Structure 1
Amino acid sequence: MPLTDAKIRNTKPGPKPAKLADGGGLYLEVRPTGAKLWRYRYRIAGKENLFAIGEYPSIALAEARAEHGKARALVKQGVHPSHNRQAERLSNQAASANTFEAVAKEWISKKSPRWTAYYSRQVTRFMQSDVFPYVGKLPIRSVTSAHLLEIVRRIEGRGAETVALLVRQWSSAIFRYAVATLRADGDPAAALKGAIHRPKVEHHKPLSRSEIVTFLEAVDKYGGYRTTVIALRLMLLTFVRTVELRKGEWSEFNLQDAEWRIPAERMKMREPHIVPLSEQAVVLLRELQTYTGGRGLLFPNYRNPKECMTATTLNRALERMGFNGKGSIGFSAHGFRATASTLLNEMGYRSDVIERQLAHSERNKVRASYNHAEYMEERRSMMQDWADFLEDPMRNKGKSTGVTTRARRPG
């Protein structure tokens, strides 16, 4: 006769274990200690086996019957219920170990050696602040498109559309890595492509000729550190990326040969880069040597000399001079590159020479195989002509500048 809850509750422990049968091999064992244990007796290959379902009342009668039904189905397939439970436990443990955060950090560690330090910090920071708090602890297989959509919408809602796009791209890469390492079945982030509106790219504003004049006058009157003034002038003369100048080291410079060799690890394209130095740039660097020449860095941080000048130092100086910030023309330190590119093109220099000096990526792989000294003589001439031009940006306005023939476009 099948068991009832009342019969189970009213059965008292005796001096010996007692078995209350429910049918189909399922029974409740009542021990002298008062423990009541669900058991399922079955046979596979003619051998009797016992499967421990759990303890009453943690597992009620209805639950015990449901588990019994699952176990009987496994037995019919020749599978031991205990073996299946062990496999499920191991699977759950693996899922718990393979959380989204764990796989993401593994992906970052694999990829970061090929990234710049800045990019590595960027990926880590945004994943930690915008993604891990919401899905980091979930098994990666249980993270859905809906989870990720909520995350990127939240980021977009605070006005950071570019960050939202990056987070979707990084998440997609993490899922692809998880699929490749057999820890995910698909990429739910792929379904979100197009869900975030890509903001219009705002290119860095260049200075016009007249604004260069105003800028140089403002630099001369700037009351901040002299090293900051030198940094601003060198940015205009060399038009390197801000980080390349800020992290510059004296060991990279040969002032005798008027040359600066930036190592590959500090370049955006991961290739070494040569900057020919004009006479004016060498003069500034020799002055800078009197301030920081005894240290490794050109521009050490005043608060922590072992670190370089912060990324905001130059923009803060531009803000104080009225070139950046509210009500200004919106010129940032990155705009020096746009300024040089725009005016050098106007002045008739070959675009290949300008692009090589800007260390831009070469899309043509055959051309990209050329070394970093490509067009060096033309670049040296152009950099000196550029420095000379900056001494009087308004001269010959709208006319041929008379630049060195080797550096100009043919014809």
Structure 2
Amino acid sequence: MTLKAARAGRDDAGKIQQQGIDPAQRRQLEKLERKADTDASFEAVAREYHKTKSSAWSPRYAERWISIMEKDAFPWLGSLPLSSITAPMLLQVLRRVEARGAHETAHTLRQWSGQVFRHGIATGRCTSNPAPDLQGALMPIQVKHMAAVLEPVKAGELMRAIGAYAGQPATRAALHLSARLFQRPGNIRQMRWANVDLEKAMWTIPAADMKRTKSAKINGRPHLVPLPAQAVEILEDLKPLTGHGQYVFPCLLTGERPMSDNTVNTALRRMGFDNTEMTAHGFRAMARTIMVEQMDVEPEVIEAQLAHGESGPLGAAYDRAEFVVKRRKMMQLWADHLDELRQGAKILALKAA
């Protein structure tokens, strides 16, 4: 410290003492103010919110939340007091994300930034939330629909191609069950023998394996998938090949893991269906569309089997015995209809039993 600076400090201390303020208390107060500013920064509040909420989130969602903040928000907003951030400042950050073509991420960041500001308001670090003001300021998201075969004639071609597939038997079986059971691709490939009852023709998917909130994964009901006769036969034929392990469709390299999440899609490409025609997820849309438009099946029965709306008003009814009976009839009707389409039978509007 120079002599001039020391004298200036002495003079400031003298002025503070004349005002009746202890210089030591003043330094402590300034230190507390600096800490308060740090604790009220965007990054500090965001990390506090993440720490508070992440225990109720899935690990994947929690990791993505903080990762996007660290990549796209903290470098520009992190050190700023939450109360100083305006809508134009937040928009400038979101525009950076849009500029690299990540439009969906920009919308997500706006929404999650709003969560940070709401937490800041609740904890006294700011008084307003600029995020809602930017709702119409971002470019709209282009919704991408999963490619799916939706025409009955084309579905017949697909089933014939699956029947003629010359790849691994387990992959062919996964294709057959994807079509007949129309469950989520992740559930199909992670199917465990322990959850399949061939005598009762029922596949029980644990709540923890379903696409649900963390709370529903822990406390929710399992998802029941009645197996049509064709599915039971496929599984009985497959059991000598993979029944010694836990997975119905194990990875070829190690039976300790399920098959790759791209196996079914790769098989579809080899069969001549490109990614604009059909995907592993497309079997779900195929089943829903054809059953509603061609077979007049009750939509709520289809939605129950798709595991849609299990937490909604009909959720408690989905596992009632009589509803499962309806679902079992529908599953057999669908499997039979796929066989008819595969054989090139005349397409008729059928009534569900």
How far apart are residue 375 of structure 1 and its match? 1.1
- 2:332 pairs with 1:384: yes
Aligned with 2:336: secondary structure?
helix
Q: Which residue of 1 aligns with 2:101?
A: 159
Separation of aligned partners in 2, 1:164 and 1:299: 37
Q: Which residue of 2 aligns with 1:342?
A: 289
Aligned with 2:33: secondary structure?
helix
Deviations 1:280-327 (A, max 9, x none): 1122223333333233333334456544333333223323333233xx
Structure 1: gaps spanning 5 or more residues: 10-27, 30-35, 42-50, 53-67, 405-411
Q: Which residue of 2 aligns with 1:58?
A: none
Aligned residues of 2:147 and 2:277 also touching (Cα < 8 A): yes
Show the 5 A alignment for 1:12-411.
36=7, 38-40=9-11, 51=13, 71=16, 79-80=21-22, 82-97=24-39, 99-207=41-149, 208-269=151-212, 270=216, 271=220, 272-303=222-253, 305-325=255-275, 329-346=276-293, 347-361=295-309, 365=313, 367-373=314-320, 375-393=323-341, 394-397=344-347, 399-401=348-350, 403-404=352-353
Separation of aligned partners in 2, 1:101 and 1:299: 44
Identity of aligned residues (%): 36
Separation of aligned partners in 1, 2:250 and 2:89: 44
Return the letter of the residue paired with 1:401: L
The change in CA–CA distance for 1:311 and 1:101 in structure 2 (over 3 A counts) is: farther
**TM-score, L = length of structure 2:** 0.82
Aligned with 1:111: secondary structure?
helix
Aligned with 1:391: secondary structure?
helix
Aligned residues of 1:100 and 1:136 also touching (Cα < 8 A): yes
> Higher strand fraction: Structure 1 or Structure 2?
1
Deviations 1:54-99 (A, max 9, x none): xxxxxxxxxxxxxx5xx58xx75x6545424322312323443555
Structure 2: gaps spanning 5 or more residues: none
Aligned residues of 1:206 and 1:342 also touching (Cα < 8 A): no
Separation of aligned partners in 2, 1:156 and 1:376: 46
Separation of aligned partners in 2, 1:396 and 1:358: 27
How many residue pairs align between the two structures? 340
Aligned with 1:389: secondary structure?
helix
Return the letter of the residue paired with 1:361: G
Separation of aligned partners in 1, 2:267 and 2:306: 24
Return the letter of the residue paired with 2:267: A
> Higher helix fraction: Structure 1 or Structure 2?
2
Aligned residues of 1:299 and 1:309 also touching (Cα < 8 A): yes
The change in CA–CA distance for 1:392 and 1:245 in structure 2 (over 3 A counts) is: same
Return the letter of the residue paired with 2:315: A
Separation of aligned partners in 1, 2:188 and 2:78: 37
Return the letter of the residue paired with 1:185: T
Relative contact order (C-alpha < 8 Å, sep 6+): which is higher? 2
User: RMSD across aligned C-alpha pairs, in angstroms?
Assistant: 3.1
Separation of aligned partners in 2, 1:184 and 1:137: 15
Q: Report which of the two structures shows the higher radius of gyration computed on alpha carbons.
A: 1
